[in-house]
A = this chain, B = another copy of it.
Amino acid sequence: MTHHDTRKNWRTRAADTAARKEAAAPLFAKGKEVLAKDTVALLEAVIRAGDVINIEGNNQKQADFLADCLNQVDKSKIHDLHMVQSAVPLKSHLDLFENGIAKKLDFAFGGPQAARVAEFIENGKIQLGAIHTYLELFGRYFLDLTPRVSLVCAYKADRKGNLYTGFNTEDTPVIVEATKFKDGIVIAQVNEIVDELPRVDIPGDWVDAVIESPRPFFIEPLFTRDPANITDNQILLAMMCLKGIYGEYGVTSMNHGIGFLTSAIELILPTYGAELGLKGKVCTHMIINPHPTMIPAIEEGWVEAIHCFGGELGMEDYVASRPDVFFIGPDGTLRSNRAFAQTAGHYAADMFIGGTLQIDKYGNSSTATAGRVAGFGGAPNMGCDPKGRRHPSGAWLKCGAELPSLDTLTGSVPRGKRLVVQGVETFGEGRKPVFVDELDAWKLAKNANLDIPPVMIYGDDLTHIVTEEGIAYLTRCKDMETRMAAIRAVAGFTEIGLSAKPEETKALREAGIVKTPSDLGIDPARATRDLLAAKNMRDLVTWSGGLYNPPARFRNW
């Protein structure tokens, strides 16, 4: 055996952290409190050039004050930061790159800054690490992308550093744990510093500094859709989804993506869904944010349990009043948690249904376009077949049993499959065709120098496409040729759709691989707004018994 000689200092990170905190020591007012006016000085004391930094910026609540302050540091000292964070929806997130403070970005969701992200990548202001799905990025926090300093946000803190994140707990626990337990530094902006918290969401041991922000953190009602804007066409799609998928497979657990189609589905559960006899048979367990459009179905007793990634502005009181359904703390407030909701969305839910900007002829889809790096958030994680899943359910088994090509993958061994549904109108925003020969993601990959195009949902994970033409049951296709024909058959008047051969489509309909509204026994004339359990925001408030409190911009009364 080689004689061992300990040459290495194994506490370099801890020693460096101690030195940084020592430099910041004069800035602490009382306990762990730092005054807002000293925030820039605090950041300059604890951050070094080249650090891996996380700014809590998920898709809803934002550590916006800390992001602003980071833009004000002395960039001759602090530069080349590597930002690792769920989302970059704020102008200040991108300003860091404009200002030469940050250089590299690993993220999951771009939101309103998508075009600027693309521009910065092209002109070299951003070195793109990768676009992730949230849970994947969280996983990397514990392996190769551990933050050195994290800037998070909470509603309240005490001076021991305990945090109350409450309704919008979201990403905070996973960020703080990964940072603090690798000798990193955690700084929290809070709306209020108090003596007694309603409950502790993050133990004070895990937090280095708390700052009462001059203004409450920014929060976006990202999942609120006004029923007044739902179209008849969306209602037709929603009817097809309910009858041809939810009912057909008996899907009890699911995630609904963001958008008007899923809002329409939620709002026809108590009407068309009830008529189909689906109550208690579908949508009983959900992983979703507190969508206001879920209120009527919840009130009518459709749903047993909902776990939330985050909160939704205006839904605080309603959710608190429905503790049998939501995950509520001893203080009476929701605890959301993006890491665990994504875990449940990946492994426990039988279906993901959402929309997209483009679907290619093979069934691959993406929201990335040439000039916009939007990212995917949670869609890839929930919109894929979770290969590690082992527990059976009716919907999962039925979908798996439909796969004629499973023998090419696992021989004679059976397996279920998660339902992954894309509901789209064949022409989307700006009358652009959704069905395309090649995804714009290819151009983006070229522009941004990516190894592979950023696909949101891969064709082999996608099980159903729903358009105004009908449903393509992709799992029932025996090979790629058949799958491509089924996609063409529902692609309407797009170029892809126009290449469909009538005799081929007829055969697919006879085989039950493609079903039109009439094949499903749905009368398109019934697809009107009359089917919506709530037709506008005021109806939702009424359904909630006055508990839902919509943000001002959604009110017109």
State the A residues within 8 Å of B (CB): 1-2, 4, 6, 8-14, 106, 129-133, 135-136, 138-144, 146, 162, 174, 177-178, 180-183, 199-201, 203-206, 252-253, 270, 285, 287, 296, 299, 301, 304-305, 307, 321-325, 327-331, 335, 337, 339-341, 343-349, 360-364, 376, 380-392, 397, 405, 407-416, 438-439, 450-455, 458-461, 479-480, 484, 533-535, 539, 542-543, 545
User: A451 — which chain B residues lie within 8 A by C-beta?
Assistant: 392, 397
Q: How far is the CA of A286 from the CA of B6 in the complex (A)?
A: 22
Asked if A390 and B131 make an inter-chain contact with CB atoms under 8 angstroms apart, the answer reads yes
| A4 and B299 form a contact (CB under 8 A) | yes
Q: A1-B542, A177-B335 are in contact. List 5 more A-B contacts (CB 8 A).
A: A143-B253, A144-B304, A199-B203, A408-B480, A415-B458
Copies of this protein in the assembly total: 2
- A-B contact list, 6 entries, CB within 8 Å: A139-B345, A183-B323, A339-B340, A409-B460, A410-B458, A411-B459
Q: Is the CB of B180 within 8 A of A142?
A: no
Question: Is the Cβ of B4 less than 8 Å from the Cβ of A410?
Answer: no
Which B residues lie within 8 Å of A181 (CB)? Answer: 327-329, 335
For the complex formed, measure the closest distance between the CB of A79 and the CB atoms of chain B, giving whole angstroms: 24
Q: Is the CB of A130 within 8 A of B391?
A: yes
* Partner among B139, B296, B361, B390 whose Cβ is within 8 Å of the Cβ of A411: B361
CA A270 – CA B480 in complex, angstroms?
A: 47
Contact indicator B459/A410 (Cβ below 8 Å): yes
Chain B residues contacting A135 (CB-CB under 8 Å) are 343, 347, 388
B253→A139 contact, CB < 8 A: no
* Of listed A10, A181, A360, residue having the most chain B CB within 10 A: A181
**CB of A319 to closest CB in B, whole Å:** 11
Contact B178 A391 (CB under 8 A): no
Question: Do A325 and B10 contact each other (CB < 8 Å), given the known contacts A2-B533, A339-B343, A380-B390?
Answer: yes
Min CB distance A18 to B, Å, is: 11
Please, how many angstroms separate the alpha-carbon atoms of A27 and B444 in the complex?
A: 65
Q: Which residues of B contact A327 (CB under 8 A)?
A: 142, 178, 181-182
